[in-house]
Amino acid sequence: MRAPLCRQILFVLLAGASATPLLAQNAPLSFEGFLDSTVLTNQYIGVTFSNAIILTAGNSLDEFEVPPHAGTNVASDNTGPMTIVFASPVRSFSGYFTYGVPLSIQAFGSSNNAVGSAASPYSDNEAISGVSGSHANELLQVASAAGIYKVVIAGSAQGASFTVDDIALITRCDVNQDTLTNVNDVQAMVNEALGATVGADDLNADGTVNIVDVQTVINAALSLGCAAK
């Protein structure tokens, strides 16, 4: 394809993305808008939860001992370790955790191989009864350049041992890695496709950065999911 034509097509795609209200695919999962005791499964595009339930302040959640990081809702482990599976790999996973037992986060790759882990620095960080020096809503993170396909968050084997709020995911479509996928990432991918910057984000693994990769980021910015490989 000739460069001028390629530029015209990329311009049209970028203009369409700019004209459409962009929803942040990587905006933190705040769990707001769900009813108390909602069981989380596939309510978020590209993310599947197991053993997870919504707790709401003033209802199932004791917000004095286990306050939300923001808003009124959190997610909690329900009957066992919480598992989160991603339709496309993410570069990093983080969240704000409050726990009553030691907590571990295990990250797994495409072959179910371990690619990262994190552990709570305290045995209990609840707001009232937590150990000295701890604080509720502690930020924990795992990251892997190889890509994370699944995380398992384990507290008590029976569940009901931690809450998590404002989960942030950095996917491959978040080109500038600011935890938001929006028009800035579309522009960055256009620059790569045009050769204005180094073509480092071959999202479909076809050996080149081109209009297909631009469209992938546009779809993610429109909350259609990040289909990067």
Tens-digit pLDDT profile for residues 127-172: 999 999 999 999 999 999 889 999 999 999 999 999 999 999 998 8
The pLDDT score that the predictor gives to residue 179 is 82
Element (H, E) at 96: strand 82-99
Nearest partner of 143 among 97, 95, 90, judged by Cα: 90
In a domain, 59, yes or no: yes
Tens-digit pLDDT profile for residues 4-34: 545 555 555 555 544 443 334 456 899 999 9
Do 76 and 165 fall within a single domain? yes
Long-range contacts of 4-11 (CB under 8 A, 24+ apart): 6/193, 6/194, 6/210, 6/211, 7/194, 9/211, 10/190, 10/193, 10/194, 10/211, 10/214
| 178: confidence class by pLDDT, cuts 50, 70, 90 | confident
Do 201 and 155 fall within a single domain? no
DSSP 129-182: TSPTT--SSEEEEEEEEEEEEEEEEES-TTEEEEEEEEEEEEETT-TT-SS--S
Q: What pTM was computed for the model?
A: 0.82
Do 187 and 121 fall within a single domain? no
Work out how many domains the chain is built from and give that number: 2
Residue 54 belongs to domain with CATH number: 2.60.120
For the beta carbon of residue 22, count every other beta carbon within 10 angstroms: 20
In a domain, 227, yes or no: no
> Six-digit token pair at 193?
């496709």
Do 141 and 212 fall within a single domain? no
Q: Across all residues in the chain, what is the average pLDDT?
A: 89
Tens-digit pLDDT profile for residues 185-207: 999 999 999 999 998 999 988 99
In a domain, 86, yes or no: yes
Nearest partner of 60 among 47, 78, 42, judged by Cα: 78
CA distance 214 to 193: 8
